[in-house]
A = this chain, B = another copy of it.
Amino acid sequence: MIVKGNLVDCTEKGTIRIRKKNCIVIEEGIISKICSENELPDSLKNEEIEDYGDSLIIPGLIDMHLHAPQFAFRGLGMDMELLDWLNTYTFPEEAKYKDIEYAKKAYKKFVDALTKSYSTRAIVFATLHTQATILLMDMLEESGLKCFVGKVNMDRNSTDELIETTESSIDSTNKWLEVCESRYQNTKPVITPRFIPSCSDKLMKELGKIRGENYGLQSHLSENPKEIEWVKELCPDATGYLDAYDKRSSLNKSKVPTVMAHCVYSDEKEMELLKERDVYVAHCPQSNICLSSGIAPIRKFLNSGIKVGLGSDIAAGYSLNILNQAVEAIGLSKLYWRYIDKNSKPLELAEAFSMATRIPGSYFGKVGAFEEGFEADMLIIDDGVLNKDIDDLRKRFERFLYLSDECSMKAKYVSGKKIL
Residues of A within 8 A of B (CB): 74-76, 78-79, 289-290, 292-295, 318-319, 330-331, 334-335, 337-340, 346, 348-349, 386, 395, 398-403, 405-406
Which of B294, B337, B346, B348 is close to A338, meaning CB atoms less than 8 Å apart? Answer: B294
Given A318-B403, A402-B318, A405-B405, A292 contacting B334 (CB threshold 8 A) = yes
Which of B78, B348, B399, B406 is close to A330, meaning CB atoms less than 8 Å apart? Answer: B78
Given A289-B331, A292-B346, A75 contacting B402 (CB threshold 8 A) = yes
Which residues of B lie under 8 Å from residue A79 when comparing CB positions? 346, 348-349
| Alpha-carbon distance between A339 and B337 when the two chains are bound, in angstroms | 13
**Best-surrounded residue of A78, A319, A406 (most CB of chain B within 10 A):** A78
User: Do the beta carbons of B292 and A339 come within 8 Å of each other?
Assistant: no
User: Do the beta carbons of A74 and B399 come within 8 Å of each other?
Assistant: yes
Copies in the complex: 2
User: Do the beta carbons of A295 and B403 come within 8 Å of each other?
Assistant: no
Closest Cβ neighbor of A317 among chain B residues: B402
User: Do the beta carbons of B399 and A75 come within 8 Å of each other?
Assistant: yes
| Alpha-carbon distance between A405 and B319 when the two chains are bound, in angstroms | 10
User: Do the beta carbons of B75 and A403 come within 8 Å of each other?
Assistant: yes
Given A402-B318, A403-B318, A405-B406, A289 contacting B75 (CB threshold 8 A) = no
Closest Cβ neighbor of A403 among chain B residues: B75
- Give the 6 A-B CB pairs with smallest separation, nearest first: A75-B399, A75-B402, A405-B405, A289-B331, A292-B334, A318-B402
| Alpha-carbon distance between A295 and B336 when the two chains are bound, in angstroms | 11
User: Do the beta carbons of B337 and A340 come within 8 Å of each other?
Assistant: no
Which residues of B lie under 8 Å from residue A340 when comparing CB positions? 339
| Alpha-carbon distance between A403 and B117 when the two chains are bound, in angstroms | 14
Given A403-B319, A405-B405, A386 contacting B75 (CB threshold 8 A) = yes
| Alpha-carbon distance between A125 and B85 when the two chains are bound, in angstroms | 42
CB of A352, distance to nearest CB on chain B (Å): 11
Q: A289-B335, A292-B338 are in contact. List 8 more A-B contacts (CB 8 A).
A: A74-B403, A75-B400, A75-B402, A79-B348, A292-B335, A295-B339, A318-B399, A405-B406
**Best-surrounded residue of A290, A292, A318, A349 (most CB of chain B within 10 A):** A292
Which of B318, B337, B400, B402 is close to A78, meaning CB atoms less than 8 Å apart? Answer: B402
Which residues of B lie under 8 Å from residue A398 when comparing CB positions? 75-76
| Alpha-carbon distance between A76 and B402 when the two chains are bound, in angstroms | 8
Closest Cβ neighbor of A295 among chain B residues: B335
CB of A201, distance to nearest CB on chain B (Å): 31
